[in-house]
């Protein structure tokens, strides 16, 4: 379905799009105000609409990336916003109006902009799957889809050479991933100081600044380095050389993308990419960069941010509610899907699925874009449903899922479900607002004794 829409949609996805910011809400953590979230409403010409939550700092980040000739200034950063105490309703309302005006202007002036700007805006406005990350690399998505479905034995050369650094890419699959995710493109145009080898050789802050990096970026990355070190030491690897490789890739990534820097689960992903790439660190590095900045852009930041529910988990809840309400109800009684899938979402399945299945899942993610992850997670739950509904209690539920995923060798089935669900899509209209009020109460509180009564 997505394939047919694409032609007209991708050319000018902003055509006829109406944006608004109907609400702004203050987010409290432990009673203190932590930030304010603006609710963006996006309406498309074809009639569907959805909501996304964005913070003021998200606007700033977007504007940093946009070319300066797009004239739609946003309200400046105020000294008042430094102190959260001053987030008064009047202040927020004023800013909301200003942001709304800016956003409308931006949507109009960006219609004719280039691919990169459009990709940024797409992600910012929370558009549904952009029809393959391959587009970012300039690969025609139809070609990409055709290639990825070719019945080539993609694992041909992998196992034997898995660990040794080899001069050639170990298999066609990795080449495809590089191409589809835009990693190849990125690697080919990276400036000298952004090359993998250069990033690895950075010794300290002074060195980093001498090469033209900013001190602020380094301090952001440095905060993550400690975490990376401890997490790398706690990852199961086959050799100390592999551990060292993984550490270098993650460290280089933190320096390259200091805003994301590191999030738990990324270590497993890096290890998986390294192994798939036959130990080629630079390949794993660029794949990780493309993954985090384009394919599943914002995924890790959202999951690790204290105040936002990951967008993916909201979609999974909607999917479950729509397709298998019984399972959702059962999970809410025992262990809500957000919690159950937390590990899976953070590590993109790398900690739970067997590698052969994982390859296929990444094929899908790289060819169809980040939303595929949500549908894969849904497919996993769907396949595990039989085992999940027979157990009670949180520990048993989590264990049942772990057992199921570990033995999920039938990748065809998994991918087929994910694909078909993706083709059906999810009804975005208005349901993005499924707020905390609509959600069933959490485990324990909502489970009165009598609900366990057998029929």
Partner 1 sequence: MVRVVDQMSASCMAGCSYSSSGDRVYTLKFVLVGSRGVGKTRLASLFHRKKSGCPSAAVGMQFGTRTLRYSDSLSVRAQIWDTAGTFAFKSVKDAFFGGTVGVMLVYDISKRSTFDDLARWLSLVRENSHKSVALILVGNKSDMSTTQREVSMVEGMRFARKHGMDFVETSALRGLHVEEACRQLIMSVARYLPQDKCVWSKKKVRSSHD
Q: Which residues bind partner 1 (CB under 8 A)?
A: 27, 29-31, 227, 230-231, 234-236, 263-265, 267-268, 303-304, 306-310, 313-314, 335-336, 338-339, 342-344, 346-347, 351, 393-395, 398-399, 441-445, 447-450, 452-454
Q: Would you say 190 or 402 has its CB closer to partner 1?
A: 402
- CB of residue 335 vs partner 1: minimum separation in angstroms? 7
- CB of residue 439 vs partner 1: minimum separation in angstroms? 8
Q: Would you say 118 or 397 has its CB closer to partner 1?
A: 397
Q: Would you say 75 or 355 has its CB closer to partner 1?
A: 355
Q: What is the spatial distance between Cα 387 and Cα 390, in angstroms, rounded to a whole number?
A: 6
- CB of residue 114 vs partner 1: minimum separation in angstroms? 35
- CB of residue 228 vs partner 1: minimum separation in angstroms? 11
Q: Would you say 386 or 395 has its CB closer to partner 1?
A: 395
Residue 342: Cβ within 10 Å count = 17
**Residue that is written with structure tokens 């504007």 in the block:** 63
Q: Would you say 202 or 266 has its CB closer to partner 1?
A: 266
Q: Would you say 62 or 400 has its CB closer to partner 1?
A: 400
- CB of residue 176 vs partner 1: minimum separation in angstroms? 28
Q: Would you say 113 or 387 has its CB closer to partner 1?
A: 387
- CB of residue 394 vs partner 1: minimum separation in angstroms? 6
């Amino acid at each position: 379905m997505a394939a047919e829409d694409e032609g007209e949609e991708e050319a000018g996805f902003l055509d006829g799009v109406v944006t608004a910011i109907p609400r702004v809400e203050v987010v409290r953590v432990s009673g203190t105000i932590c930030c304010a979230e603006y609710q963006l409403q996006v309406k498309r010409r074809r009639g569907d609409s959805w909501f996304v939550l964005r913070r003021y700092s998200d606007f700033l980040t977007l504007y940093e990336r946009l070319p300066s000739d797009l004239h739609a200034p946003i309200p400046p950063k105020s000294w008042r916003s430094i102190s959260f105490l001053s987030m008064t309703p009047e202040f927020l309302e004023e800013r909301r109006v200003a942001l709304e005006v800016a956003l409308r202007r931006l949507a109009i002036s960006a219609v004719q902009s280039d691919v990169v700007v459009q990709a940024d805006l797409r992600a910012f406005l929370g558009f549904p799957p952009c029809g393959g990350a391959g587009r970012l690399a300039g690969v025609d998505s139809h070609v990409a889809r055709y290639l990825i479905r070719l019945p080539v034995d993609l694992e041909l050369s992998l196992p034997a050479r898995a660990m040794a650094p080899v001069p050639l890419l170990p298999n066609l699959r990795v080449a495809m991933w590089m191409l589809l995710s835009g990693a190849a493109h990125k690697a080919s145009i990276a400036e000298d100081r952004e090359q993998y080898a250069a990033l690895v050789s950075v010794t300290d802050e002074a060195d980093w600044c001498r090469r033209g990096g900013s001190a602020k970026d380094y301090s952001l990355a440095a905060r993550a380095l400690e975490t990376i070190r401890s997490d790398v030491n706690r990852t199961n690897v086959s050799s100390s050389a592999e551990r060292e490789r993984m550490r270098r890739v993650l460290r280089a990534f933190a320096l390259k993308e200091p805003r994301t820097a590191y999030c738990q689960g990324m270590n497993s992903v890096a290890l998986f990419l390294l192994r798939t790439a036959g130990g080629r660190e630079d390949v794993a590095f660029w794949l990780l960069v493309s993954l985090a900045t384009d394919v599943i852009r914002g995924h890790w930041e959202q999951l690790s941010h204290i105040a936002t529910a990951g967008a993916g988990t909201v979609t999974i809840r909607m999917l479950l509610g729509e397709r298998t309400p019984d399972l959702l109800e059962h999970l809410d009684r025992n262990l809500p899907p957000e919690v159950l899938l937390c590990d899976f979402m953070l590590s993109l399945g790398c900690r739970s699925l067997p590698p052969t299945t994982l390859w296929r899942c990444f094929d899908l993610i790289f060819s169809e874009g980040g939303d595929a992850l949500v549908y894969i997670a849904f497919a996993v739950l769907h396949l595990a449903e039989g085992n999940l509904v027979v157990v009670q209690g949180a520990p048993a539920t989590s264990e049942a899922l772990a057992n199921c995923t570990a033995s999920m060798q039938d990748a065809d089935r998994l991918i087929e479900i994910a694909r078909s669900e993706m083709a059906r899509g999810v009804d975005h209209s208005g349901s993005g607002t499924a707020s905390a009020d609509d959600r069933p109460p959490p485990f324990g509180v909502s489970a009165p004794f009598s609900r366990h009564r057998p029929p």
